[in-house]
Structure 1
Amino acid sequence: MSDDHPPHGAAIRLRGLTKRYGSVTAVDAIDLDARPGEFLTMLGPSGSGKTTTLNMIAGFVDVTEGELTIDGDDVANLPPNKRNIGMVFQHYALFPHMSVADNVEYPLRQRGIGKTQRATMVADALRTVGLEHLGRRKPKELSGGQQQRVALARAMVYNPRVLLMDEPLGALDKKLRDTLQLEIKRIHAELGTTFVYVTHDQDEALVLSDRIAVFNDGRIQQIGTPSELYEYPNSLFVAQFLGESSLFEGTLEGGRVHTNGRALTATRGDHPDTQNVTVIVRPERICLHAGDGEPAAENAVPGRVIQHIYFGNARKVEVRLTDGTTVLVRESATGTLVPVHADDPVWLTFRAQDASVLATA
């Protein structure tokens, strides 16, 4: 991009932000900050309020209550074109009769920027997304991934202080999504603009984000870095939505969780003030032991193999516990995989430091 691009994006501050449609509360008094230059992802299932929140930041949806500021400026009542925000949608929204270069140039024309400067800014934007050689083509002559790059170039060509992205990779196949995720990450690092990204894809959120805000039922359940949310979820919802989890339900007595005839120790989690709790362990932190002889370990739970699935670089084993619960074990194929078959007796072991105790929902 051009040298006059600001080195950092804007700070976004939401306080008590609320959106109601009649008696339905779509976003319920959320507090959220995006730091200057940060890549913040809003992650959650459909209907969780993440897209409505993004649209309030963009100005496409009116705020019912609460505070919305960008770099300290109250923008809640400003129209979208007065907020200096770029927006990338899932379905590109390119003009089919215009060339790639003309599509990217369009917002510059709308802002009355001179022809010479427009040409420089368009060239910079196309170069940033790797499409400098395709400026004369029409959108229909491009692949889906190339069209999304054009949409990204158009959103960032005028150097907005904030770039909002609403499931921009949702219409693409997995391999192309994986490639563009890395491109978006590179572009963010190069520009220093504040990115706010909406997705329901947990893997995408983990790859891209500096921090993730997990939404559900119009509220934010937890905010943190990818590693904080993955390693230290504060609820069963977050643990199950962000990555796979193996759950051992039981009762909390004397600091240990009693389940499947065993007493388990877990050092993570808040050890809630309730008797019914769940021990959560990520599948890759569980070790599988064949046979019915109990291994020496701080936590060991017996079960029987349901099935195992080979992924090339990993193996996933489903195990049924004595209480009928199914848990997962994920093993790397780089290690020695113990041969197992359906209905084989096995033991599952894990360390207390890899397990969290949370209230059962």
Structure 2
Amino acid sequence: MTGALDGLLIADFGRVLAGPYATMLLADLGAEVVKIERPGSGDDTRQWGPPFDADGVATYFQAVNRNKRSLALDLRDESDRAQAAALVSRADVVVENLLPGGMDRLGLGYDDVRATNPGVVYCSVTGFGRDSSLPGYDLVVQAVGGLMSMTGPRPGEPTRAGVAVVDVITGLHAAVGILAALRHRDRTGEGQRVEVDLMSCLLSSLVNQSSGYLLAGAVPQAMGNRHPSLVPYEVFQARDKPIVIACGNDRQFRSLAEVLGQPDLADDERYATNPQRVAHREELVPVVNDLLAAADAQDWYERMSAVGVPAGPVNDLAEAFAYAEGVGLSPIVECAGVRQVANPIGLSATPATYRSAPPALGG
């Protein structure tokens, strides 16, 4: 089957997560990706475990490196560096996330590559932009970028997200930037430099929170699982386990009140509109919580879903995959015998393909 990016060659100098995630997405869509790794040890994530799979491979590495070929090169060695230079001279795309200036010192920077390959799309992923030598670690960026200050049970208890979300967001932005640059090249024949950094991607991805600060001077604080602008929109406790309810408008709240057997709640002047519910959050939330104690989370989920109230039990990851399959999704694929999370992009004519498992070092 022909992929949307068939015929595209990507030289991938990315390591750990942001760069490799971007190149895996593009590989799924048909691009040929050659992953450059250190001889002997390879990408750091090959050793990031446990957990390890049955063959002793770190599952972290397995997560973002399918559909790639591994080429082990010591970029400090002149002969190996010449091989890398030959690869980038014919590549359509180069992706790198060395510290700023690292590729330049190796003679593989953007200016070096475009001198022999003017159509190249050259994507650099950094922590804080090309003028900063600070390393880009997701945890650090979550801290200095404000995300941890608004995540956690309460102010004064900053909490990291349960996955390296800034790296993932940055990888997505990198993929978008690369595709935009390729579209420009299709029209003009001109390559260009694409730059993304973790800090900028995080600030952009804070969306309403960033906008609230810029336009109204509002500095958000940790609110646990609550939403600053919507009520009820948080975690509640059903009889057996937690359940999330996410009412986005007054109609949904009225339906919720009816499901809970208390339709008069929607007519109470304290709760009739969302701004009023936000103002009276501390009065309303305990009422809802007490009513939910009458039944199990799954029962409430089914009853709320039937009338259009967004809700769902708080699942662990095993339950989450089962839930996805239960609603008709196909979240798991077999890639050369390795179970993987499916690429979430659906294309009717050129869907993602799963051609090869994450490679052995140098394979």
Q: Which band: TM-score by shorter chain?
A: under 0.3
Higher helix proportion (structure 1 or 2): 2
TM-score by length of 2: 0.25
Q: TM-score, normalised by structure 1?
A: 0.25
